[in-house]
Structure 1
């Protein structure tokens, strides 16, 4: 049974009118006016029947076909053969079933609806030493906003106050608040769980992460899963089976009441009820875990994944250069090396310079303002730090600044792992040491891949645009089935397509260069917390937290939703078929058949809602 959208405003009437008519008919049966009870029941059936017929016509004009036709046939035939009580019971059960389905879907959507309802409407902006309340659509890049306790961050940007305590549970599923310090990036949609803080918007609210999430949620709620469409197609076969059993019962017994009983038992069909409820429940539960699946189609496909293609940078690795080793020369300490290098690099915008400054801040080192800076793009920077001449950069650049021989200078870089970057420091013409930076594997990647293997993922392939030696070094010990390196975006697409021989393919990535492969995969998954907007738009699912391990619960939830949907369908159709056979042999009256079918519908809906709970 599909829930007609056209009659939603009058649904209370469509439930209340047959309920009142049913009760009035029984009252009349107990009085001298009992001859009027059948007429009252017939009249009480008409509004639901007429609304149903209008909806059937509308659906047929849209090229859609559903088992609502069975409901219309059962009510019409019951009225035709004088089974008015059965007709009004079917009308009441049908209208009540629609309400039950709406309630179940609303319950299933609660996490996704929560995301939509939390969207901020206004913000407090600093202006000329005062505050002004503005609509979030008026926020522009560079606005300084006040985020009060309990308010939601309306746009992406950076923290301008010393500290902020944020509740990101609605976005990431993390139950504990997180702390952010001045200068750190804040994601829109997080709730201020501490004192008020100032915030600098990086972009308009309409372009924020949370606005994008809201758009994706709305698209997901409008989607229709392949299993739902499959149910619509098989509705024709079930209708034929129903008519064969009903017609056979009539032809064999010459009793039209048995035909009516069969039709009543087949109304409405759990095939239509169970699937959308289970799929929507799966989407909702995934959102609760920080996984935004864009629709039922993606969720249903995710349940059947057999191959995984994964990007390296920002996916298997953190995607940021981090200090992994500091090797100070004689006469220098590790902290002194990083402090001088970071002090000088404050004047540079290079990504490596930012990594050195971040490491110094992590170590709580006091940085000083450099002087006389001269930067050679792509090579290094030199200047004065607290009166000492310093130079930071690559091996050739720093060698040119030395007045003393740097012993071992030529051999150290070869000792570091592939993909590592070595930054050298010279102080007063003397080699002070070097710093090794690398984009390291995310913690727990080996365990994550083992869990994916346990989920029957048959092939796991690394696809990266990075050098072969770097890719091989990252993949070492991970047990991957294949490593594809030095790939262009179109070559990544070919890798995804070639892996389809093993079954449906999931692609996980975060960069703009991953977007074509994400779109080509059966299920594209984007790292949404830090990834590029293009990859999030192209993907079928977005991880709202920067943690690759969320794909495990995503697959588990998808498989549970699909299993429970099919379980509900097979159980419901099996019970309905048994009921139709019993009715054909005269073991069920039309009224008893209607009550039995409603019990089956309630059972399959409740079973479908089990997706919301862990299994």
Structure 2
């Protein structure tokens, strides 16, 4: 384009036309290829009008008009593809939880081997903090595993000798030996990854917003161009109509508005992986929520403190937290966190011994203290303590050999859920469901009083996918989750939303939207931004097409030449793009 203008200014008209011709031909070729591929998929879009206008302009010697159209079309296409690539690039730490190697016992020694080299029957060492690489059984002793990413169970689970362990669980206790029962490619975690890939392949591609008006606009354009040629006998009038009709408001305004919405959302801690995702987000009618780490905070917290006679709540908590400072157990860390939040003074414990699966014993300020289960931290004569809340655990305290009370711990609802669902419904969501791998009684207790349409518990990853597909009959479905077991459903949903602040990499990779802040109500901001960006896009399209139709009529009557039409179209483009840029200034109320 620029080279041709320089040659034109130097009175080298022939050279300018050659340069413009040479620049437009590759654009037309690429456009024709894209049109053919779209037709094979059963899609017809506005690209046909752009191809016709450039081709007709070249055929009838209007190379400058063709070059202007080519520049505008290429710019809009690049903007849309670049924005989607930029968003996807942020998530390329693909499945970082997947172990790449395993520590295997061989001939009385330990060796580090590639994961693919592990065979059924191999004895593996699983150290504290390691992810279990393959499915297997605990070989002697016991194992304390965090299975929340796989099953939704928020609290660590203890597996005894011979207990079946799934790959992808994390060892939060002492090191243990695992007897491999399956190869890595056949294990649970690998199966979940395959489900994600299959769901992504089977997900129907969403047509661009611009294509929705394409057939009608194409018909009007061709009819008006044919009438102008027939009535005047001048093919240049038809070229002028086509050039003015080039749907740059559709090609440019839509991606600018949607990309602007994506950029706006990122400022509020929401990563949206493409303009198509944002468009579908605005149409969401059903929301399916995972429980652990999504609807709940995802880790144990103290629900109630019940001291025995002679101790206050704060004294009980301070003694337990002081001793638990020496433990890495998630429950111990939660107790310490609660004490710190209450600004309690915690002396340094001494003589600490941790008993895996039972509790911790040691000295705190000259007193012998035990923290753990009732069978570990009690004098043996404490009356049985029952708590009616499903999913809760009891942590007992013993001081100087006497039972001193206990704490009730559970995975609590997020604080923001109180107003979350009413706000969702205000934004057009019609159905809200809970889907979890946790037990039915735990799920129903958590969901009580929330006004959900349905609660689905004890679901496997493929059952979550089936639920997503079933709910599509009610409209576009959003799935919100954070664990590895949620990844297939996130990939299958129209919009998959991952709690990325603390969630698994598999769910973040499979999702279309990642919440970078650890707040579920960030979904509300995403919905509002998406709807406002979509509205701005439609406003820009309506204004741009209206002005283009007026220009087409003027071109058909001979008042506008092809070059003038191209310049007029560019002026229209500037106007609609400036309007589309308003999406950068969206201020959602629900943040």
> TM over 0.5: same fold?
yes
Structure 2: which 5+ residue stretches go unaligned?
38-46, 94-128, 130-203
Q: How far does residue 95 in structure 1 lie from its aligned partner after superposition?
A: 6.4
Displacement, 1:331?
Answer: 1.8
Alignment gaps of 5+ in structure 1:
1-13, 26-39, 120-156, 158-223
TM-score (norm 2): 0.70
2:418 alignment counterpart: 446
- Asked if the contact 1:307/1:458 (under 8 Å) is kept, the reply is yes
Residue 383 of structure 1 and its aligned partner are, at CA, apart by: 3.7
What CA RMSD, in Å, does the superposition of the two structures yield over aligned residues?
A: 3.4
In the other structure, the counterpart of 1:36 is none
- Following the alignment from structure 1 to structure 2, what is the Cα–Cα distance between the partners of residues 418 and 104? 52
- Matches for 1:103-118 after TM superposition, within 5 Å: none
Give the conservation status (yes or no) of the 8 Å contact 2:477–2:494: yes
Q: Deviations over 1:464-519 (max 9, x none)?
A: 22233322222222211111223232322222222212111111111122122212
Q: Distance in 1 between matches of 2:216 and 2:473?
A: 32
Q: Deviations over 1:327-386 (max 9, x none)?
A: 2222223333223222333443322122222233333422322326351x3333334434
1:488 aligns with: 460
Which residue matches 1:255?
A: 234
Instruction: Give, in angstroms, the shift of residue 289 of structure 1.
Output: 1.7
Find the aligned partners of 2:77 and 2:10 in 1 and give their Cα distance: 27
Secondary structure in 2 matching 1:263: helix
- Residue of structure 2 in register with 1:17 after alignment: 4
1:382 matched to which residue of 2?
A: 361
Aligned to 1:365: 345
Q: How does 1:43-58 map to 2 (within 5 A)?
A: 43-58=15-30
Partner of 2:281: 302
**Whole-Å Cα distance in 1 between the matches of residues 6 and 507 of structure 2?**
52
- CA deviation profile, 1:29-59 (whole Å, cap 9, x unmatched): xxxxxxxxxxx55643432232111221244
Deviation at 1:439, TM superposition (A): 1.7
Deviation (angstroms), 1:74: 4.8
> What is the rounded CA distance, in whole Å, between the counterparts of 1:92 and 1:514 in structure 2?
48
Of the candidates 41, 44, 51, which is equivalent to residue 69 of structure 1?
51
Q: How does 1:298-447 map to 2 (within 5 A)?
A: 298-362=277-341, 363-371=343-351, 373=353, 375=355, 377-399=356-378, 401-402=379-380, 405-406=381-382, 409-411=383-385, 413-414=386-387, 417-447=389-419
Q: SS of the counterpart of 2:377? A: helix
CA contact under 8 A between 1:424 and 1:434: conserved in structure 2? yes
Aligned to 2:575: 603
Does 1:277 find its partner at 2:295?
no
CA contact (8 A) 1:74 1:267 kept: no
Native 8 Å contact 1:461 1:480 kept in 2 = yes
Alpha-carbon separation, structure 2, partners of 1:227 and 1:576: 23
**Is the contact made by 2:84 and 2:274 (CA closer than 8 Å) also made in structure 1?**
no
Given that 2:84 and 2:275 are in contact with CA atoms closer than 8 Å, whether structure 1 keeps it comes out as no
Aligned residue in 2 for 1:552: 524
Distance in structure 1 (CA, Å) of the matches to 2:48 and 2:231? 28
C-alpha deviation, 1:594, in angstroms? 3.1
In the TM superposition, residue 98 of structure 1 has moved relative to its aligned partner by 6.0
Is the Cα–Cα contact under 8 Å of residues 71 and 268 in structure 1 kept in the other structure? Answer: no
User: Residue 525 of structure 1 aligns with which residue?
Assistant: 497
C-alpha distance after superposition, 1:146-165 (max 9, x if no partner): xxxxxxxxxxx9xxxxxxxx
Query: Once the 2 structures are TM-superposed, how far is the Cα of residue 61 of structure 1 from its aligned partner?
Result: 4.2
Superposition deviation, residue 318 in structure 1: 0.9
Q: Distance in 2 between matches of 1:44 and 1:274?
A: 30
- Structure 1 residue 438, shift from structure 2 partner: 2.2
- 2:423 & 2:240 partners in 1: Cα distance? 51
Corresponding residue for residue 574 of structure 1: 546
SS in 1 for 2:550: helix
| Partner residue in 2 for 1:176 | none
SS of match in other structure, 1:332: coil
Measured after TM superposition, the shift of residue 459 of structure 1 is 0.4
The CA deviation string for residues 221-265 of structure 1, in whole angstroms up to 9 with x for no partner, is xxx98444x646976775564343223222222233433332332
